[in-house]
Amino acid sequence: MQATSKEQYVEFVIEKEQYAIQIQDIHEIIKMQDITQIPNVRPYVKGVINLRGKIVPVICLRYLFHFEQQEYSRTTRIIVVHHQEDTVGIIVDRVNKVATFSDIQAPPERVGGIDGNYFVGIGLTDNGLVAILKLNEVLLREEE
């Protein structure tokens, strides 16, 4: 799989691992805010936020990827993505930059202990490898 130089991604960090989402899927990136918890949801769904009058569900990739839960810091962000007909917030530890990848390789079966189905591929950069998220798998995930 080859990426063209026109494809841009937003690179972010969870724990010490680098991930990316295609920039075209991102609506905006906001600072952490109060999340209203809702009952009877999957554990990785943290609740909802009010984003300028629109109620947006928020998920935690730390929980989904089985990382230890931590307090939110001043660098914690919510990446708001449009996916199909929905808007969803994704909590990440830190947003790094907008990146392009000269090469994208198919993901292995497991990426750092996480199911490879969550990823479109692995982008190669000067600073190392970046796992590119497959939003369908992350957002439409069925309970294990």
Residue 103 is predicted with a pLDDT of 85
pLDDT (tens digit per residue) in 95-127: 999 988 888 888 887 766 677 778 889 998 877
Q: Are strands 54-60 and 86-92 parallel, antiparallel or unpaired?
A: parallel
- Residue 2: inside a domain: no
- Residue 15: inside a domain: yes
- Residue 27: inside a domain: yes
- Residue 29: inside a domain: yes
Longest distance between any two alpha carbons in the chain, whole Å: 44
Cα–Cα dist 50/36, whole Å = 9
Looking at the structure of the chain, the number of domains it has is: 1
In the structure, what pLDDT confidence band is assigned to residue 3 with cuts at 50, 70 and 90? Answer: very low
Cα–Cα dist 72/32, whole Å = 8
Cα–Cα dist 80/28, whole Å = 5
- In 3D space, the residue among 63, 58, 47, 59 whose CA is nearest the CA of residue 15 turns out to be 63
pLDDT (tens digit per residue) in 8-22: 999 999 988 899 999
pTM: 0.87
- Residue 75: inside a domain: yes
- Residue 43: inside a domain: yes
Domain that holds residue 82: 9-139
Residue 81 is predicted with a pLDDT of 95
